[in-house]
Chain A
């Protein structure tokens, strides 16, 4: 009952005209951003944050807009995967495997409809999960003391890279680089300037938003410049949007399985939408690939990963809202926006600002319906807009990033910082060092240090306080187990690679 009344409050917030307008705009823009190769949820959301500041939106309105964009991207990514064989964003990679072959066989309308419905089901399952579990997790997290939060942050950094084949040393290093950048500026407790090099511009530290726009938008431009840009006129033509309902319903179980797997992947730290799609696809392949049709245009191979990535992206909101520790790149960027607006996510958010939390949840239910409508009958519109060539699109994205960043402080100093972070992001990505842990370090560094210092102030400098509560002990054991597992997996992969010719 309590949840129903909370949801009622949420819907009363969500139907305010401004919020509805932003929701519709966000869904539309998100689908487009997702459909454009080279622009995905992370850089789409990062570019939009300074703009929401410029418009003067409050935290609720901004969060509704960004979440709509985030969800829209998950729907949009599949369009170019299916019609062009180019994933519109990273989580849509798995959709190309069976989606493009389907389109080649003249089943583009079916593939789009299956993936659209699967996206809807996946996101709905995850939003229901968010409604039920986020308040529970928040209630448990009330008991966390400073030392427990420190342990939680340690765990977040150690696990954010996930288990998937990346060198765990590089992930940790990325987080540590982020923490180093976070200490730049005046020390909040004593007012001593750290690593400012005497520059007054750096006394406030590096604005995470400025760094994020550079890391994601500018480094993406650098990546685009090193690739040959594919011709997008070769898209498969779409004659109708009306699918064969029998084929669509045939994928019902694949969709349900994909949704559940994706949701679990999304809630776990360090997974996010991409891993959700990969896991859903590979599990579905093991369940359904009896005639070897996967990879050759099997409708189930389209439904599972799309349900998975949408469900994972909504699931990733749970740790971000209830613990203040995001589980994926895009939720990390959204956390940056909330912190900039002086909203600290975490257990207290549910008590202090229920209108924000439940307004967001209600908006997500509505966004999902809007997106289904936008993405089935109006699909033709998006395929036409998708034909805008990259050379015309990217420069506008760069210009909007510049204005957004300039409007934060009206100083060109931030523009240099943004360009600098763009180059840093490019080099790190070339070295296979993922940027998400760095962003997390940059965002949570100050809070992590504060909690450590608070814990040691309480104990009078005794480091034993860090492992004094069972919560922190459990978190450290989980962290150690995770690290051991990922090191073991990395060594096993290396051994396999050495054995293979």
Chain B
């Protein structure tokens, strides 16, 4: 069933892709223009996706509820990091994401937090002090 659904999804994306490509026109440039190659890619993709819907191959076993929850939690931590990196600044945000991912992976909370703090500080020293990357210590939230 998963394969069939994926086939439908890929078919729709490929169809939209090939359809959109027709609008890309240029009166100058080369003979082929910007739209032919996407159409050449999109149409076989539609055909292959359709064949997966009609003749699905293989089976998929999705993770059970609790595991799915762990994955969702880890993803939430990653997205939170992308959101908070600039406001919080590098060391705080990185310490938090390391600790959070470690705990999702069943690390003991105290040790996980410790690894977060040590890890983020050493990475900050390496990247900001030694390599001179523009990574702020404090984020915009603290006027850094």
Contact = CB atoms under 8 A, between A and B. Distances in A.
Contact of B41 (A180, A225, A391, A456): A180
Main secondary structure of the interface of B (DSSP, over half): helix
Interface residues of B, number: 69
A494 B55 CA distance: 12
B37 to A, nearest CB: 4
A137 interface: no
A431 B6 contact: yes
Interface in B1-48: 2-3, 6, 10, 13-14, 17, 20-21, 24, 26, 28-34, 37-38, 41-42, 44-45, 48
Interface stretch (A72-80, A258-266, A339-347, A398-406): A398-406
B38 A180 contact: yes
Interface stretch (A186-194, A282-290, A312-320): A186-194
A399 B112 CA distance: 14
B71 A218 contact: no
Contacts of B38: 180, 183, 194
B137 interface: no
A27 B119 CA distance: 23
Interface string B101-144: 11011110001100110011001000100010111000000000
Nearest to B103: A391
Interface in A418-461: 419, 422-423, 427, 430-432, 448-449, 452-454, 456-457, 460-461
Interface string B55-91: 0011010110001101100110011011101100000
B58 A390 contact: no
A239 interface: no
Among all A-B residue pairs, the 8 with the closest Cβ atoms: A391-B107, A415-B82, A391-B105, A190-B26, A226-B63, A395-B101, A190-B29, A176-B45
Nearest to B116: A395
A222 interface: yes
A31 B143 CA distance: 43
A54 B131 contact: yes
Contacts of B63: 225-226
B102 A395 contact: yes
B2 A453 contact: no
A461 B31 CA distance: 6
A495 to B, nearest CB: 13
A396 B98 CA distance: 6
A173 interface: yes
B49 interface: yes
B111 to A, nearest CB: 8
